A = this chain, B = another copy of it.
């Protein structure tokens, strides 16, 4: 199962025009609720993300946030910072082959992250589940979650709940 779990504006952006993510935290969260993220992560065996997302995470400048292996899609990256040698792995090639190889290592449930990576996976119909958490804002531009597709992809709604009284979190599963 390849899964997406991502925050998005009403108009479908995952970062604003300046790459900013501050709007993701505009809804007050005094109790610091994880909004399903921890539960989602507990069902995940590994992550696949693009180089951009990887570098964004590095730029946060905090401790490495993932306890699961992270596979970074890149045809140009040669190495990862030494301290991440055991948890971050560079992969490239055909997406389907990459997924097969990761599966063969025993990682079955994959968290697909980053706009362009998600779009590439959707383009090859390799996404099984999408959870969007919609923040009540129109950004009017930025990095879009979705891109062009060569065919319609039907999903079914698995669940939808309201978080923090303001965020609609919906999970869609691919109908094949």
Residues of A whose CB lies within 8 Å of any CB of B are: 10-12, 16, 23, 26, 122, 130, 132, 134, 136-141, 145-157, 160, 162, 165-168, 170, 172
Residues in B neighbouring A157, C-beta threshold 8 A: 136, 162, 165-168
Q: What 18 additional pairs, Cβ within 8 angstroms, besides A122-B138, A140-B146?
A: A10-B130, A10-B146, A12-B12, A16-B152, A23-B152, A134-B170, A136-B155, A136-B156, A136-B172, A137-B153, A137-B154, A138-B152, A138-B155, A140-B149, A156-B166, A160-B160, A160-B162, A160-B168
In the bound assembly, the distance between CA atoms of A134 and B140 in angstroms comes to 19
Q: Which residue of chain B has its CB nearest to the CB of A132? A: B10
Q: Find out whether the CB atom of A11 lies under 8 angstroms from the CB atom of B10.
A: no
Residues in B neighbouring A23, C-beta threshold 8 A: 152
Within the oligomer, what is the number of copies of this chain? 2
| Distance between A148 CB and nearest chain B CB, rounded to angstroms | 5
In the bound assembly, the distance between CA atoms of A124 and B145 in angstroms comes to 25
Q: Which residue of chain B has its CB nearest to the CB of A146? A: B11
Q: Which residue of chain B has its CB nearest to the CB of A136? A: B155
Residues in B neighbouring A140, C-beta threshold 8 A: 122, 146-153
Q: Find out whether the CB atom of B152 lies under 8 angstroms from the CB atom of A148.
A: no
In the bound assembly, the distance between CA atoms of A149 and B152 in angstroms comes to 27
In the bound assembly, the distance between CA atoms of A38 and B166 in angstroms comes to 25
Residues in B neighbouring A151, C-beta threshold 8 A: 140
| Distance between A32 CB and nearest chain B CB, rounded to angstroms | 20
Residues in B neighbouring A146, C-beta threshold 8 A: 10-12, 138, 140
Q: Find out whether the CB atom of B168 lies under 8 angstroms from the CB atom of A10.
A: no
